């Protein structure tokens, strides 16, 4: 108990002690009509330490005060590059800035922060659920998941469900499908909430919100660990659904992309 309390406080101190550093934009590209992927580096191009699933907080200089906006890291750790994916928000201060940022320009950021990470554990199955850019923490985790699937935990099953409005909004689907091809225990599903019938619908594509796929998954409160990331309404609705099914709260991990007020 004492050890647990000590490690909790040392974790809090570590989180608070994250430095503010200047990040330079190396490249950016549009990966969906309203989502831009951006890759940053430090000036000396040194490695940027983070754990897959964490986020960074950007400092945006406003006319009267500095605003803070958080973004999940989208790439795997052990790299000198830090990628994020930003969804454009009409009139949004940070997303407008990020959409207009040019190569070589820089901004200040703190981090990494967050506990939405993989733990040392051996569940029968992980079910990773996201809407929109909420899928990026799972992209960041792919290398770690690959290591588990190929060495430490080959019987692990993984389901990744990404909810977007339509096919044009899909993010990193080619990478997730390629990963699924390499690892039969990994399944990827895209759920389209506003797509009319698709003549060429692929096996990984479903119509409806993310939770419409639940009846096909035989969700098991005793075996599955669920991760939820992205739209806060999606997270609250699914958290309620899952706890009603008998899931223990500790087996449902959440990262809500709430707006700053």
Ligand X SMILES: NC(=O)c1ccc[n+]([C@@H]2O[C@H](COP(=O)([O-])OP(=O)(O)OC[C@H]3O[C@@H](n4cnc5c(N)ncnc54)[C@H](OP(=O)(O)O)[C@@H]3O)[C@@H](O)[C@H]2O)c1
Ligand Y SMILES: Cc1cc2nc3c(=O)[nH]c(=O)nc-3n(C[C@H](O)[C@H](O)[C@H](O)COP(=O)(O)OP(=O)(O)OC[C@H]3O[C@@H](n4cnc5c(N)ncnc54)[C@H](O)[C@@H]3O)c2cc1C
Nearer to ligand X, 47 or 260 (CB): 260
User: Taking CB under 6 A as the criterion, which residues in 208-237 touch ligand X?
Assistant: 209-211, 230-234, 237
Binding of residue 23 to ligand Y (CB under 6 A): no
> How many Å apart are CA 38 and CA 51, to the nearest integer?
18
Binding of residue 37 to ligand X (CB under 6 A): no
Is there a contact between 132 and 34 (Cβ–Cβ < 8 Å)?
no
- The two structure tokens encoding residue 111: 């981090």
Is there a contact between 42 and 80 (Cβ–Cβ < 8 Å)?
yes
Binding of residue 28 to ligand Y (CB under 6 A): no
Is there a contact between 185 and 149 (Cβ–Cβ < 8 Å)?
yes
Binding of residue 99 to ligand X (CB under 6 A): no
Nearer to ligand X, 123 or 134 (CB): 134
Nearer to ligand X, 46 or 194 (CB): 194
Give the single-character DSSP code of 232.
H
Nearer to ligand Y, 210 or 219 (CB): 210
Count the Cβ atoms, other than its own, within 10 Å of residue 157.
16
Q: What is the dihedral of CA 197, 199, 204, 210, to 10 degrees?
A: -10
Residue 70 contact, options ligand Y, ligand X, none, Cβ 5-8 Å cut-off depending on partner type: ligand Y
Binding of residue 172 to ligand X (CB under 6 A): no
User: Taking CB under 6 A as the criterion, which residues in 220-239 touch ligand Y?
Assistant: none
Close Cβ partners of 107 (under 8 Å, ≥ 6 residues apart): 22, 23, 58, 59, 60, 97, 101
> How many Å apart are CA 56 and CA 21, to the nearest integer?
11
Task: Please state the closest distance from residue 251 (CB atom) to ligand Y, in A.
Answer: 20
Binding of residue 89 to ligand X (CB under 6 A): yes
Site residues (vs ligand Y, CB under 6 A): 55, 69-72, 84-87, 89, 91-95, 133, 136, 255, 257-260
Site residues (vs ligand X, CB under 6 A): 87, 89, 131-134, 163-165, 193-194, 209-211, 230-234, 237, 257-259
């Amino acid at each position: 108990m004492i050890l647990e309390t000590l490690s909790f406080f040392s974790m809090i101190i570590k989180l608070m002690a994250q430095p503010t550093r200047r990040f330079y934009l190396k490249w950016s590209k549009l990966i969906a009509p309203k989502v831009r992927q951006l890759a940053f580096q430090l000036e000396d191009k040194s490695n940027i330490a983070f754990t897959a699933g964490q986020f960074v907080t950007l400092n945006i200089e406003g006319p009267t005060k500095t605003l803070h906006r958080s973004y999940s890291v989208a790439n795997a750790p052990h790299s000198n590059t830090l990628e994020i994916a930003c969804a454009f928000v009409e009139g949004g201060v940070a997303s407008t800035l990020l959409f207009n940022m040019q190569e070589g320009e820089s901004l200040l950021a703190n981090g990494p922060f967050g506990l939405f990470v993989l733990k040392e554990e051996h569940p029968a199955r992980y079910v990773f659920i996201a809407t929109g850019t909420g899928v990026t923490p799972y992209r960041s985790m792919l290398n770690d998941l690959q290591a588990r699937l190929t060495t430490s935990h080959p019987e692990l099953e993984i389901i990744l469900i990404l909810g977007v409005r339509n096919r044009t909004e899909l993010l990193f689907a080619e990478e997730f499908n390629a990963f699924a091809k390499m690892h039969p225990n990994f399944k990827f599903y895209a759920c389209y909430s506003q797509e009319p019938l698709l003549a060429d619908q692929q096996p990984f594509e479903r119509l409806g919100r993310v939770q419409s796929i639940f009846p096909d998954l035989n969700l098991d409160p005793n075996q599955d660990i669920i991760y939820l990331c992205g739209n806060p309404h999606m997270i609250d609705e699914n958290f309620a659904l899952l706890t009603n099914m008998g899931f223990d709260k500790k087996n449902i991990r959440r990262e809500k992309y709430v707006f700053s007020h």
